Structure 1
Amino acid sequence: MPRRANYALHFLGAHLGRDKDALRIDWAEFAGRRAEFTFDVETDDPTDAYVRLQAYDIGVYGHELVLNDEPLTGFDVPPSNGWQTWMDAVTGATLQEGENTLAVVRDPESHDEFAIGNVAVHWREPAPPAP
């Protein structure tokens, strides 16, 4: 069966950290340790999923992406000064039909202060029959 690409795009606009005044970014709302959003998947057969996000000023390894309460395996977001666009395959967790939740979770042992802008979750799904 032919497959097509689909995605969910969300502006997270979150500052993750310990100090709400550490970053001076007007669009980022202080979230503390965790920022999350929900999105819908309208198929029971999503495959080849990956996440792409915009991150600002991540200083250390150790922060996690959590999909439907399951952390993605491997390291999640690498350190980088300033802006980066980062992408990784969804492994260790699965998309499900209906509502899904993706969270960015700051390492509680870290003193890191960073922001997340746009987040996109991509997957492939069965294409509808041609007319």
Structure 2
Amino acid sequence: MSHRANYATVFVGAHLHPDGQSLDVEWAEDCGDETKKFEFDVPTDDPQEPYVGIQAFDVSEYGHEIRINGESLSGFDIPPNEGWQYWADTITGAELVGGTNTLKIVRDGDGDDAFAVGTVTIHWKEPVEK
């Protein structure tokens, strides 16, 4: 069986921060410690080798989470970096399913990091019948 690559793009546009901390990111929604749940569709019952790419701005600490379908990815999800970064991480510790899936970004509430998230892209391979 052959496979093809597919993906879903989610514009998160979120500013995550503790009380009293702030970044100058007028384009981003003020979210506090976590974003709302975003939905995206996976048009196959057999998504394989999934990974996520995330645009993040001014991340200062480890410990923030990317959650797929309510489950946190294993390992660290968004590494520290000044300014903009694009980070890719395999989806482990969570599963994509055929149909509607959810995405949420959660700030580590134990730190004082303020950062922003732009677009998140979820990638997978799917079987194609010849």
TM range (shorter): over 0.9
Structure 2 residue 90 is matched with structure 1 residue 89: yes
Does the CA contact (< 8 Å) of 2:11 and 2:119 recur in 1? yes
Deviations 1:90-113 (A, max 9, x none): 011110011101111000111110
Does the CA contact (< 8 Å) of 1:49 and 1:122 recur in 2? yes
Moved more, 47-56 or 18-27: 18-27
Deviation at 1:24, TM superposition (A): 1.1
Does the CA contact (< 8 Å) of 2:18 and 2:109 recur in 1? no
Separation in structure 2 between the aligned mates of residue 38 and residue 100 of structure 1, nearest angstrom: 6
Instruction: Provide TM-score, normalisation by structure 1.
Output: 0.94
> 5+ residue gaps in structure 2?
none
Deviation at 1:19, TM superposition (A): 3.9
Deviations 1:28-63 (A, max 9, x none): 110111113110111110000000010000010010
Structure 2 residue 4 is matched with structure 1 residue 4: yes
Does the CA contact (< 8 Å) of 1:19 and 1:113 recur in 2? no
> For residues 29 and 21 of structure 1, do their structure 2 counterparts lie closer, same or farther at Cα, with a shift above 3 Å needed?
farther
Separation in structure 1 between the aligned mates of residue 8 and residue 86 of structure 2, nearest angstrom: 16
Separation in structure 1 between the aligned mates of residue 18 and residue 112 of structure 2, nearest angstrom: 7
Percentage identity across paired residues of the two chains: 52
Instruction: Provide TM-score, normalisation by structure 2.
Output: 0.94
Deviation at 1:11, TM superposition (A): 1.2
